[in-house]
Amino acid sequence: MLPANPAQGSRSAARTLTVRQALREGLARLLADHVPSASLAAELLLMHALERDRTYLYAHGDNKLSAAAGERYFGLIAERLSGKPTQYITGHQEFWGLDFEVTPDVLIPRPETEHLVEAVVERAAASGPAGPARRQIVDVGTGSGCIALALAKELPGAEIYATDISPAALGVAARNATRLGLAGRVQFRETDLLTYFLNPSYEDTFDFVISNPPYVGRDEMGQVQREVREFEPRLAWGGLERGDEVYARLFPEARRVLRPGAFVVVEIGYNMRDRVLAQLGAGWTDADIRPDLAGIPRVVVARKSRP
């Protein structure tokens, strides 16, 4: 058994550990601290420390860890125990089957956000084959670029833009485009919501405006996990007064740039359905709510009314 404090003696103790023992010990430390998804975290951190995949961990469980690898692993476990999310330690998060680089400059992509991508892909398919009409899409508040790049993968004929107010986030998104072989498929713009497009050249242009905006209000701050509060960028998750402020600005801007009959698709907070629908107001039709896998209303889709 390793000493409880990884800073003390982890080098000598780790020298004698097998892969399986290290995994068990890492897991035990995470569980003792009630770290969420401890088992997954223990695996991902060991994979990261060894630069190996999951198959290796289970196929070579009896292999001895080198002292350096043991020290690296228990150092990563200590970082996780400090509250730092596993994804910021490994620098990776999967979204829509794609591997995204994540840094503390961007929100860690969440599985529920995949419902936004699904909603767009379904509607794009329903409105006819990609064909000659080149779909124009803009993702507002792109962060890691996860939504825009997933759509670039799914809709090869689409012309896709992505905005963010954070230049650091746009840097991460651009690197993800390159890593995923999608450089040039998404054009990134540093701007406040859709400001860059609010001019006559983009009026009635887009087929989809998509956004997972910051939506945590002051009253929900207490429910935000420590990992989010202390490590994810506040600009990304909110810390707003009510939480739904962004929609009140986004919907009118989206109306200006969408062509009639085109769609706005937004992610919403768990208790926001009625407030967000009320903010849509006149000028929209066919409002639709999609629940996430937990049954929580998560995605609002609406169409810009035709004249």
Contacts with ligand SAM, residue ranges (CB under 6 A):
106-107, 109, 113, 140-144, 146-147, 163-166, 169, 192-193, 212-214, 235-237
Geometric angle at alpha carbon 212, from 206 and 216, rounded to 5°: 145
**Nearest to ligand SAM of 66, 225 (CB atom):** 225
Nearest distance, CB of residue 225 and ligand SAM, angstroms: 14
Nearest distance, CB of residue 142 and ligand SAM, angstroms: 5
Are the CB atoms for 139 and 160 separated by under 8 Å?
Answer: yes
- What is d(CA 291, CA 242) in angstroms, rounded to the nearest whole number? 22
**Nearest to ligand SAM of 42, 173 (CB atom):** 173
- What is d(CA 94, CA 237) in angstroms, rounded to the nearest whole number? 19
3-state helix, strand, coil in the chain (%, to 5): 45, 20, 35
Nearest distance, CB of residue 257 and ligand SAM, angstroms: 14
Nearest distance, CB of residue 117 and ligand SAM, angstroms: 10
- What is d(CA 261, CA 89) in angstroms, rounded to the nearest whole number? 43
**Nearest to ligand SAM of 69, 236 (CB atom):** 236
Structure tokens at 149: 């790049």
Are the CB atoms for 236 and 229 separated by under 8 Å?
Answer: no
**Nearest to ligand SAM of 13, 173 (CB atom):** 173
**Nearest to ligand SAM of 166, 279 (CB atom):** 166
Nearest distance, CB of residue 46 and ligand SAM, angstroms: 26
Return the sign of the alpha-carbon dihedral for residues 290, 143, 88, 96.
Answer: positive
